[in-house]
A and B are shown apart, each in its own frame.
Chain A
Amino acid sequence: MATGFKTWQCENCGFLYEEEFGLPAEGIAPGTRWEDVADDFICPNCGFAKSQFSMIEV
């Protein structure tokens, strides 16, 4: 079983991307690592770019 899932956060709006859960509504399967998320991904909550996310401890 994969472990060490990380959480990434949009610096503009606080939206969380949790690798463990992915974003099925956006077509991103649970367990998808941040580096495997497409480069043109935008924050579903505010439209900011993938590069505006940073990793956080929760």
Chain B
Amino acid sequence: MIPQQIAHTIVDPKAYAAEKPVDDAFTWLRREMPLAVAQPDGFDPFWVVTRHRDILEVERQNELFHNGDRSTVVTSKTADEKVRSMMGGSPHLVRSLVQMDNPDHGYYRRLTQPYFLPQNIRKLEPRIREIAKSFVNRMAEKGGRCDFARDIAFLYPLHVIMEILGVPEVDEPMMLRLTQELFGSADAEMSRSAPADENEGLAALMATIADFVAYFNKMTEDRRAHPRDDVASVIANGTVNGQPLGQLEAMSYYIIVATAGHDTTSNTTAGALWALAENPGQLALLKKDMPACMPLFIEESIRWVTPVKHFMRTATADATLAGHKIAKGDWLMLSYPSGNRDEDVFDDPFAFKVDRTPNRQVAFGYGAHVCLGQHLARMEMRILWEELLPRLHELELAGEPRRMEAAFVCGPKSVPVRYRMQ
């Protein structure tokens, strides 16, 4: 059994904001108890999977380790009961790809998969470059000082995914706010109402989802009447086994694209610039040989930030994992940041190296649920850096960066920087 102090750290939003306590906890676990059970007060027990190879082992066995049988994110007993009482027994507030298993998962994934494949995403490159250029110009106009997270990194991937989805620009600030409420529900600065307790927090989360649903219901009606060349039209008019998508499934599909589709990429972009500001030698190295370094730098940024902190799986049968007996129904936490600091896989894992190779980071997951948007995310980041780095001459932090308080999706919320740009 994992010591209580460590068990609490790995579910504590504040510990993820500080980062070091979480890094220390997982470093200890990888060394002493790489696969063991945690039971923080108020939670059901769960296995904590900390090693790179064990994470892959669980993720590739999608029949043995289901997503949908229990909550896909770590949830207290009280919150879990509340969700189940509101959702007719289901442990989920939404039913997106993340909460599905086969056969539904395959059917629903194939609906939008073609849109996100490299050969299709490539066609968007000229338009995404225009968007990136406009953000880089905006940064230059700031006159040498900005909050890179708020002024650039939050807004650029947001604009890209909203164009892809089909949400007009005027609604982007609302989409950003709702996303931050959803992922930042434990962070007083991000959440809807700075909830005093878990019940209020859950109510706030439900209100956020209700706002999304109201918005996307209108969008469905519009795209049914006037289909366009956007992902919203695919969701609104798509069929699964000859039937239109269910209401919950359609709403959840819009919501996952409208949230996961930018926040993770924003976090990675902001975290990468933060790392470059702290490591001028790495920035110089990257600028010296941009074309060769770029793909390595992108992978290293993703490894470095690992914005998705965990997903949960549930065993569908008794199983053996790394010599331990896992029982049917057991809940498992896959810790992506831990996998991405695994000393057996990465040399000097706590160093940020723009030319790190090999780099088998697991920040996009693995197996049937591996990130649908990974090709888009990589391309967006590459284009932004290609536009920004040649114009960026000096860079340093102009204050203490801060991360969001969240144990699920977490990254920088403020990265104040000083710079000189052409």
Binding site for B on A (CB under 8 A): 9, 12-14, 16, 25, 44-48, 56, 58
Contacts and interface: CB of A to CB of B under 8 A. Distances in A.
Interface string B103-131: 00000000001001111000000000000
- Majority-rule SS of A interface residues: loop
B418 interface: no
Given A9-B117, A47-B59, A25 B358 contact: yes
A45 B370 contact: yes
B120 to A, nearest CB: 9
23 contacts: A9-B117, A12-B368, A13-B370, A13-B374, A14-B113, A14-B117, A14-B118, A14-B374, A16-B118, A25-B358, A44-B360, A45-B364, A45-B366, A45-B370, A46-B367, A46-B370, A47-B56, A47-B59, A47-B60, A47-B366, A47-B367, A56-B119, A58-B119
Contacts of B119: 56, 58
Nearest to B370: A46
Contact of B366 (A25, A46, A58): A46
Nearest to B59: A47
Contacts of A12: 368, 370
Contacts of A45: 364, 366, 370
B375 interface: yes
Contacts, number: 31
Interface in B354-407: 358, 360, 364, 366-368, 370, 374-375
Interface residues of B, number: 17
Most chain A beta carbons < 10 A, residue from B116, B358, B360, B370: B370
Contacts of B375: 14
Nearest to B113: A14
Nearest to A49: B60
A48 B368 CA distance: 8
Contacts of A47: 56, 59-60, 366-367
A58 B358 CA distance: 26
Contacts of B367: 46-48
Contacts of B113: 14
Contacts of B116: 14
A14 B113 CA distance: 9
A8 to B, nearest CB: 13
A48 B113 CA distance: 16
Given A14-B374, A16-B118, A46-B60, 4 more contacts: A12-B370, A14-B375, A25-B358, A46-B366
Please list the 6 inter-chain residue pairs (A to B) with the smallest Cβ-Cβ separation, ordered nearest first: A47-B60, A46-B370, A14-B117, A13-B370, A47-B366, A47-B367
Interface in B39-92: 56, 59-60
A28 B124 CA distance: 31
Interface in B246-263: none
Nearest to A58: B119
